[in-house]
Chain A
Amino acid sequence: MGRINKDAPIGSEFAGKPKKMSWERLWTFSGGPFTAEGWPKKNLHTDTEFAKKLGLPTIGASATQYLGHLTELMIDLFGESWLWNGKFSDIKFIKLVAEGDTLTSKAKVVSKEKTGSEMEVRLNLSVENQHGDEVLIGFAKGFVPNA
């Protein structure tokens, strides 16, 4: 069971635990499998020179890394059923996440609709850095029992 149920009021807000995007976690996520030759693979998430050649000030976290954070929050809210029927929509990555940033995933209930035996719950999503700047915005849709 997740933290959201059919009675969750519109406007209810939820947040995941803050996560620091350390070098170690960026390399571990984006460097490829540990067993790969030459680990970590050089890319804009792991190598400062590579990032600078693209005009970036420093390495940036892969957006899929904090999509993973958001997924953790969704499973916390909807339960494991999210893995069978959850949806992200209109997700936009709007700001670079630099090494050392601390990210917090957030969700707000914006609508609910009965669909047979279930209640479809739509959430407004954001991921914010330690300055309160949004780095990701978008929506999610999940289902909870209507009984």
Chain B
Amino acid sequence: MAEKKSAYLLKVGEEFEPLEFIVTPELNQQYLYAEEDFHPRYIETTRNGPGFVHPGILFNMSNNTRSPSFFLPPGWGEIHAGEETEFLNPARVGKKIRVTWEVIDTYEKKGRPWHVLDILIVDEDGIQIMRRKMTNTFASLSLRNQGE
């Protein structure tokens, strides 16, 4: 089995393995509780179809830590530092969602590696749901001690 590459070592143009998942009513309701947002638009089926997927799921499941290929050594973590988001279409409960990630910038600041990712979320019909530009840095206690 190929050794996984630490996330902070990925270069510009490299991608994390895509994630596919289905938003069931139960998964949606899990996030409605987490977000304390029980609006009927996320629960009720209308003539236009099932309820909307709560955007909190889309944000959370499109963090690159959700990619099957995401890896960091023990004691390392990724910190979300910045965000740009374009909402393109609502996602519907019951649809399969696909998330892709591409590294579009890397740099070092204050002794830490930083990454900028282009993230695209589409549904099973090819409808674009959300586009994100996510800025992350990486942290570990050893890195922190080096900086002190």
Contact = CB atoms under 8 A, between A and B. Distances in A.
Interface of A: 19, 25-26, 28-30, 33-34, 43-44, 50, 53-55, 62-65, 67-69, 71-72, 80, 82-93, 138
Interface in B56-85: 56, 59-60, 63, 65, 74-77, 80-85
Interface of B: 26-27, 30-31, 33-37, 39, 41, 52, 54-56, 59-60, 63, 65, 74-77, 80-90, 139-141, 144
A87 to B, nearest CB: 5
Contacts of A86: 85-87
B145 to A, nearest CB: 8
Given A29-B60, A93-B81, A68 B54 contact: yes
A47 to B, nearest CB: 11
Q: Is the interface of B mostly helix, strand, loop or mixed?
A: mixed
Nearest to B130: A83
Contact of A62 (B54, B60, B81, B141): B60
Given A54-B76, A64-B80, A90-B84, A28 B90 contact: no
B56 A65 contact: yes
Contact of A80 (B41, B63, B88, B144): B41
A71 B85 CA distance: 11
A72 B31 CA distance: 13
Contacts of B75: 53-54
